[in-house]
Structure 1
Amino acid sequence: MTENGSPVSGYVLEILDVKQEKWSTIEDNVTSTKYTTTDAKAGMEYQFRVSARNKEGIISKPSEPSNILKPYDKPDAPGTPIGEIIDNAKIKITWSPPMNDNGAPISGYIVEKFYVNMFKQGKWSTIKDKVTPTEYTIDDVKTETVYQFRVSAQNIGGQSSPSEPSNTVTLYDKPDSPENLTAANIGNATIMITWSPPRKKSGSAVIEYMLEKLDVKEGKWSTIKDNVTSTEYNTPDVKPGSEYKFRVTARNRESVSTPSEPSNAIIPYDLIIMQDILRESIDILCDYLNPEDVLPGMKAKGAITDTEVKQIRDQNTDPRRVEKLLDILRHKPSLLRYNTFMEKLNAKRPDLHQKVKELEDMKHNA
């Protein structure tokens, strides 16, 4: 290539700010036929032209102006990310795209994390770059560690400033299982379930419990209540004569424990029937023996007091006394013998006699 017979030794590159309509030199000794300029400003419109120069310093006429170009700028920062625990083991981060991409599509995002401590010291580190959706899930999460996250956007114009930091996110260890689960009849087809909190305080504090029951015959667990905040619960959702077991799961802010060991098996009984049995039983005892002989013997056993006898007669008592009464009849020689009592009960109230036998069968099979 020559200029007036002399070889071309370089080029003069000029730029025009279309708005100002004034040409200015970018570089006056470009030795190749391509050039990258950083003098342009994003959002402005430019044209370029080139002149050739030979060794004698003679400069050609400028070329025709280039097409009008508008340089890209880096995008604005994305929206503030939100972090949340998923599957009790991962952290999912979501965010919104920048309000302005400044002329070039977003090509990806850079996700960073920060370990939060009481001094707010440390540095941000990149987890993943070139993330294309506006969400990212982190699998490698340490428990009992407080995290924050931020996101930057990228386009052909460069990388944006980071977003505002996310909310703090902590993955806690799941709580241990509740312990010492017991089930007891309190009458009227109602079971009282009690338990102890988890012995080991893993993770954050337990905030509630989920209670389940198992119909032994059906062999299927079902939820009774999923937001119990104390360590006991009375469940009326049982059928007299059916056999049940229970279990409890503890829940803290982020996760749930494995279920407790099942409770003892228990068969609910009907309050009215049990009160009727007690009342008739006391009447038989009082008819058969001198009350002065009966009641002191019962008090000596520590099972039934004078006040409780009155409560039985008033049909206002704890039906669990039936089991204690039957134990007294078996093991206390000074009182009416069990077999004799059952004979008299059968003669007076065959229906109640049958219920007592059923109760004994329940107790024997439990």
Structure 2
Amino acid sequence: VSNVQARAARLCWAPPAGLGNRLSNGMTVSCSFEVSLSDKGRDGKFRLIYSGEEMEYHLKDLRPASDYHVRVSAMYNLVRGSCSETGSFTTHCSIPDVPLSPKLSHRTKSTLTLQWKPPGDNGAKITNYLLEWDEGKKNSVFRECYFGSQRHYKVSRLFPACGYTFRVAARNDIGTSGFSTEVVFYTMGTLPALPLAPRLVRAGVSWVTLEWGRPEGSPSEEQLKYTLEIQEDNSGTDFHPKYTGENLTCTVQGLKRSTQYKFRLIASNMEGKSSPSEVLVCTTNPDKPGPPSTPCVTAETPYGFTITWDPPQDTGGSEALTYLLEISEGCSE
């Protein structure tokens, strides 16, 4: 065993004594080797890692600061020989594993308290942790926030209702690990202000399109969600949600024609929900009416006649109907 590193090592071996003489004399022999490795001790279970005619093998993906045992056997003309004596080696120590992302343990409007767990030290004691943050600028530029041996840190003098991105790395005498996955935490804020009532953009027979704006005074970087509620029964007082999301507009489908509906808006953030806005009352459009009855002549004079008809059975949802009467001149006999 040679060139032992933290995660790799080089193995080489010689053929059995008698077989080695034949190889050196240029004789053609059919000889192969099997290499087995154990990380459970000399008497532990060995697993086959190589089978072939080469007399050298490079081990990879080993664990740092770990004991390994290796042995080799030869096969000549389909006859397997006994295993060699077991060789032992210990991989070198390495930098720590990449730690998990920090966790949020407490927050206020101006502080965030973070904590993190130690990763695997790979044989060398972890001495320090490096905590970095983006200072809330969302520009992927990180600066040192804390460096020390503690596994927790309180970040202060922050802005309310703002998000800050953090990552952490571990250091030992060998070096510094990679950084953890980035994670975003928000300071506490206040409940959203009362939003204005939604506005009607356009109405159809079975739909209405509404829009609204952010509550006055809410920071532009604060994430808000909106819940649009509808009251479908004029005789009742219950509103129920029709849309929840971050958009500032919504088209409500599946409504009845020529029907009055009431809408109101609620804004929410990480702290909770605002009070409902004032109510918007709007009405869907009527549909086109069905055909009226066939005209009937009810009275005649030498120079005219009176025609009557019944209204359509389906008025389209509107009682304000107008009629168009058409006439074609006939031929006199």
TM range, normalised to the smaller chain? 0.3 to 0.5
Q: Return the structure number with greater helix share.
A: 1
TM-score (norm 1): 0.37
Q: Return the structure number with greater strand share.
A: 2
